[in-house]
Chain A
């Protein structure tokens, strides 16, 4: 691709780097105007940088990171290496060990997504979990159960949930396996409150919930949970996110994404219709006694 062709066409990589820079800037309480001044650019240029619409100059990145309080030379080098990396699908997997602690690929991609489609086999989607459910889940699954680690993770997840109180937040389409809704994470009381939370969520305009019942039998998503992120920009491909015990995989090659798009459509069709979800959750509450 020539420079001419690539101009103005955001890639996932640029979008992600831009999202990181935006978060660092807002966390530091710095305006676009002030950030622009440091790199001799307009607030509009900062806006476009943060939306992945223009590519970065190394000098600008160094200046912005310093302004945002990132001073560790190793972290700055990693970020610049990412910005330079050729536009290879899945480019960031190779970096997963080196990423600075503030580099939260999934969370930041999610924050700029227009639509999140997810299938969850074992647990309630993180974006809809109650705090008690989250804590019980983390105590049951994490090896590192130090209170400060759990606290850190709870804060990240609660921050993610604010997406749904923003006016321009993403649309969420979640299909939950019946198993995810019956397993008493945290005990009956916690699960009960969690299901009540889900019932409330069915009334949110941008949330669509479906249940994939046991009666559906074998189904296309038995390989496990996944999320598909879609971005408003027509040139950006969807990204599939898969979580593992020690790492995560991001898929953006068309043939991979299409496989998961097919699976999502399939569980959507085999799941109960969204308008029945509140009623089904009510029955689950009843079964809990």
Chain B
């Protein structure tokens, strides 16, 4: 039984995926994660709504890609702890043959995802432990080639992760590297937290997060738009995520969720 050296799990420091789990009411978080979650909530009291809004944005965009754009394979980076409404659940509900590769850099996410995310028999769900800051490693992982056919369109999902990249990580290059590897007709869906609607709260959030060792960079509209460069944004474009094709009957002030998002097609 050959084994790679597995990563060590450290629950003594907060970890982004587990802080999200705490906000979403999950049970896979530890004291350090909860302390961070609460410290951020003190800066942004609506944080749970913000996080839930990102989950529903993910569901709406994936549904759009499956139903209207015909996408059947997904690369989701920054998966998080498995919860209801993951990419494969949304996609396979409509198209059971959908294939999803999840990527996360947290070994706890690895342990839970590979054990607890069942695929439909027709589709495929796989998981790799990798970091968005090293897109070449993601693209070069043999599991990617086993799971996705890069000659066919792919939905690249970068939701709730871009703010963890610092400017010196060169996030534009990272997104471009991934998009370049995808076939024409592929889609990028991306979200990015922003200071535009509540600068003070978002400054506070970023400071608390950075203190706890989790990078956090909110970006303005002008800083976010270039992530879609060379791609064709679908209606309604890059907007506050609550305004992106909201479900019927959902009334929410778009500026109450401090996140931009959009979906764009690779020509």
Give the B-binding residues of A (Cβ under 8 A). Answer: 115, 171, 173, 178, 205-206, 208, 210-211, 213, 215-216, 230, 234, 237-238, 254, 258, 261-262, 264-266, 268-270, 272-275, 280
B121 nearest in chain A by CB position? A205
**Complex contacts, A115 vs chain B, CB 8 Å:** 116
Known contacts: A234-B25, A265-B107. The answer to whether A258 contacts B31 by CB under 8 A is: yes
Decide: B110 and A213 in contact? CB cutoff 8 A: no
- In the assembled complex, B28 has its CB within 8 A of some CB on chain A: yes
Q: Roughly how many angstroms separate A270 CA and B8 CA in the complex, as a whole number?
A: 9
Decide: A268 and B115 in contact? CB cutoff 8 A: yes
Decide: B6 and A270 in contact? CB cutoff 8 A: yes
**Complex contacts, A258 vs chain B, CB 8 Å:** 11, 30-31
Whole-angstrom distance from the CB of B259 to the nearest CB of chain A?
24
Q: Which of B25, B27, B108, B115 has the most CB of A within 10 A?
A: B115
Decide: A206 and B118 in contact? CB cutoff 8 A: yes
**Complex contacts, B27 vs chain A, CB 8 Å:** 230, 234, 237-238
16 A–B pairs (Cβ distance < 8 Å), ordered by A: A178-B1, A205-B118, A215-B3, A258-B11, A258-B30, A258-B31, A261-B28, A262-B11, A266-B9, A268-B111, A268-B115, A269-B9, A269-B107, A270-B6, A272-B1, A274-B115
B12 nearest in chain A by CB position? A262
Residue from A211, A254, A268 in contact with B112 in the complex, judged by beta carbons closer than 8 Å:
A268
Whole-angstrom distance from the CB of A32 to the nearest CB of chain B?
28
Decide: B1 and A280 in contact? CB cutoff 8 A: yes
**Complex contacts, A275 vs chain B, CB 8 Å:** 114
Whole-angstrom distance from the CB of B105 to the nearest CB of chain A?
13
- Contacting residues of chain B (1-54) with chain A, CB-CB under 8 angstroms: 1, 3, 6-7, 9, 11, 25, 27-28, 30-31
Known contacts: A258-B30, A265-B107, A269-B6. The answer to whether A210 contacts B1 by CB under 8 A is: no
Q: Roughly how many angstroms separate A280 CA and B3 CA in the complex, as a whole number?
A: 13
Q: Roughly how many angstroms separate A261 CA and B9 CA in the complex, as a whole number?
A: 11
**Complex contacts, B9 vs chain A, CB 8 Å:** 262, 265-266, 269
**Complex contacts, A215 vs chain B, CB 8 Å:** 1, 3
Whole-angstrom distance from the CB of B89 to the nearest CB of chain A?
13
Q: Which of B27, B108, B118 has the most CB of A within 10 A?
A: B27
